[in-house]
Chains A and B, each alone.
Chain A
Amino acid sequence: MKITVDEDKCCGAGQCVLLAPEVFDQRDDDGIVVLLDAAPAAGHHAAVRESAAVCPAAAIVLSEDA
């Protein structure tokens, strides 16, 4: 799994961080998403899929085949 985030779309909701804190964080100053791990281990995949699904700005894009 490969993750990309679109900082320009991110609204700083932090829903992704609530679900997958090992993979996502937020910048302190403006709350924009920080990708901690663009290719997380399999154990995180389910939480990352949930994060992408719940993100209210459609800012997280996954490609499963990579």
Chain B
Amino acid sequence: MTQVGSVLVVGASAAGLATAEALRRKGYQGALTVIGGEFHPPYDRPPLSKQVLAGEWVPERAQLRTADQLAALDAEIVLQDPARSLDTAARTVRTASGRAVRADAVVIATGLRSRAFPGQQSLEGVHTLRSLDDALALRSALQSADRTVVIGDGVLGAEIAATARGMGVDVTLVGMLTAPMVGLLGSRMAARLAQLHTDRGVHMEFGVAVEFLQEERGRVTAVGLADGRVLPARTVVVAIGSVPATDWLTDSGLTVADGVVCDAFCQAADGVYAVGDVARWHHRGLGKFVRWENRTNANEQAAAVAANILGENRPYTPVPYMWTDQFDAKIQAHGLLGEDADVQVVEGSEEDGRFVALYRRDGHMTGVLGWNMPKQARLHRAAVVDHYTAQAALHA
């Protein structure tokens, strides 16, 4: 591409903001516009299910930048005006208010929205958690609830269950799989997590599907399980995953398949890039297309996209990293752990609730799990780096 003189970022959250900042850090001086759909200035999501939900932080503490820091970015930041369409060839975005913005490079950073349980939208008392407003609404509901049912196998459901329990609420966590986060942690460590929740008084109902939400006069009253049991609750949290926010791209001509499909450089079309939770790109180290929903990826991919906009042509081959805090467990994962891996504790001990475990699959070291040992887990990270970058070097 020729010299880039204008960049438009769609989505004013972690990945969008980080892309704008990375462009400036790398010396880009051209026009910069960031369009966001929400009313709030950019804020961070991980605290929403932890400190903000628990009430330990005032919501403002989750803001990613101060007003001064945003001003220093020298960007036009438009809030509360979601993009409605993209003309890919003309690289022009149209927004809900009728604004049309053309740019030499367009960055798609619209993230995800929560998946809904069929019929939940019309019911009072049923919550999802993706935005700050969601978090405040759920907090206020939990403050007056004596019991709640959280539906979901993933990290979000488990975190919400832990935080709600910490608020003194009687919590039941329901999942279809064998244990919480089993896809991410593998069966052995997921069983350990389930035990932690049980020890802290969370009722665990796993290996059973939710079939329906019972209601009375428009308010949820219970959760009906496939085995015929009915769990009463007037506050229910649905955490059954998220879907990429790509509705606005329907007529763009871009390939959208569970995310915006990109090449190894995070480019979806000439001059159009995707970053963060919404992006599915070709990871050359792994030799496949992946889409990662984690906070560190938003920042790292933003740096790669900014570099590629400015012509660096750098394939993006990160080592994934995610963390979660549940009760007093700080769990960290470098690399991909996976369900079928061979797990070996190499430092600390499971009995003490502090350890590092290595995950091996098909003879490859693929992941490191830290359980209340963040620093030690990071020190073992070097063992998995090759798995993510070696092939990329071959293809380079």
Q: Does A49 contact B (CB under 8 A)?
A: yes
Q: Are the C-beta atoms of B296 and A56 separated by less than 8 Å?
A: yes
Q: Are the C-beta atoms of B373 and A31 separated by less than 8 Å?
A: yes
Q: Are the C-beta atoms of B303 and A12 separated by less than 8 Å?
A: no
Contacts of B321 in A (CB 8 A): 13, 15, 56
Q: How many chain-B residues does the 8 Å CB contact rule pick out? A: 29
Q: Are the C-beta atoms of A53 and B378 separated by less than 8 Å?
A: no
Give the distance in Å from the alpha carbon of A54 to the alpha carbon of B230 in the complex: 45
Query: For chain B, what secondary structure do more than half of its interface residues adopt (helix, strand, loop), or is it mixed?
Result: helix
Q: Mark B302-344, 1 if CB is under 8 A from A, else 0.
A: 1100000000000000000101010000101000000000000
Give the distance in Å from the alpha carbon of A46 to the alpha carbon of B169 in the complex: 47
Q: Does A38 contact B (CB under 8 A)?
A: no
Give the distance in Å from the alpha carbon of A11 to the alpha carbon of B374 in the complex: 9
Give the distance in Å from the alpha carbon of A11 to the alpha carbon of B22 in the complex: 22
Q: How many chain-A residues does the 8 Å CB contact rule pick out? A: 20
Q: Are the C-beta atoms of B374 and A31 separated by less than 8 Å?
A: yes
Q: Are the C-beta atoms of B44 and A13 separated by less than 8 Å?
A: no
Give the distance in Å from the alpha carbon of A50 to the alpha carbon of B304 in the complex: 12
In the complex, which residues 3-40 of chain A have their Cβ closer than 8 Å to any Cβ of chain B? 11-15, 17-18, 26-28, 30-31
Contacts of A14 in B (CB 8 A): 374-375, 378
Among A13, A15, A26, A27, find the residue whose CB has the most chain B CB atoms closer than 10 A: A13
Q: Are the C-beta atoms of B374 and A13 separated by less than 8 Å?
A: yes
Give the distance in Å from the alpha carbon of A49 to the alpha carbon of B24 in the complex: 12
Knowing A53-B18, A55-B299 touch, does A11 contact B375 (C-beta < 8 A)?
Answer: no
Q: Are the C-beta atoms of A26 and B46 separated by less than 8 Å?
A: no
Give 9 new A-B contacts, CB below 8 A, not counting A11-B325, A53-B22.
Answer: A12-B332, A13-B321, A26-B374, A30-B374, A31-B375, A54-B299, A54-B303, A56-B296, A57-B295
